[in-house]
Amino acid sequence: MFSFILKILYFILTFVFFYLAKIITRFPWFKKMPPIILSSIIIIFLLKWLNISFEEYNSGAKYITFLLGPATIALAYPLIKNKEILLQNKRAIYFGFIFATFIAILSAAFLGKIFHTKFSVLLSMLPKSVTTPIAVEISKTIGGIPELTACAVIFTGILGAIFGRRILKICGIKNDIAIGLSVGASSHVMGTSSLAERKEYRQVAISTVALTIVAILTAILAPILIKLYHYLATALEI
């Protein structure tokens, strides 16, 4: 009974810390810090201070991770509201999906090779631009390390949420479709959420489609590219 109460407590406290972080980020000094980062820091500090293991804490908090799937599906709502925009710009959008998927996979592989990364770590990095539930499954399929993949996905999402719009602004990109596609394809749900917080609903619609299609294309293309890599490596050795 006591164990069950602790699980409920960890589950509730995770939400409490997140909303506490949202309140703190309203202050000027913390305004640019995403609530997910601040709440994570608070939780890590408390777990260390109270000497609570991650396994014990995650026994209750893991149910929040389960909600990532339904949360991703819920992003389809702005997609339905703005489907006319998608139909009007379908050629540019679909080409952007394919290009973004190849860049996301190849850039991770390229950087991995430059830094002489272990192959298992490299495989874990490939789905970094895909939303967590799907990225973890892709990582399992191609032989990556799911936990490392989850970390890479979160880190990528945070970078996209913080700097995505700023980089596009510096590049002079103001078109809603281009912004939504870029943010969704590169920083998945976290980037899309940053657009939703700004109430940029047209951008959210495109971003939602981008993160969904890029996830599907990554799941299809990543295993094919890995097999091609093994084939070429073997052929060159011969």
Gap between the Cα atoms of 88 and 70, Å rounded: 28
pLDDT beyond 70 at 2 = no
Per-residue pLDDT tens digits for 8-46 = 777 888 888 888 888 887 777 776 677 777 787 888 888
Pseudo-torsion of CA 215, 220, 139, 107, nearest 10°? -70
Better-scored residue on pLDDT, 3 or 40: 40
- How large is the average pLDDT for residues 184-199? 77
Instruction: Indicate the pLDDT class of residue 238, thresholds 50, 70 and 90.
Output: very low
Instruction: Indicate the pLDDT class of residue 233, thresholds 50, 70 and 90.
Output: low
Per-residue pLDDT at 69: 67
pLDDT beyond 80 at 236 = no
- Find the range with the poorest average confidence among 57-66, 102-111, 134-143: 57-66
Among residues of the chain, what percentage have pLDDT more than 70?
85
Instruction: Indicate the pLDDT class of residue 75, thresholds 50, 70 and 90.
Output: low
Instruction: Indicate the pLDDT class of residue 235, thresholds 50, 70 and 90.
Output: low
Per-residue pLDDT at 84: 72
Burial of 26 (0-12, 13-18, 19+ CB in 10 A): exposed
Per-residue pLDDT at 121: 83
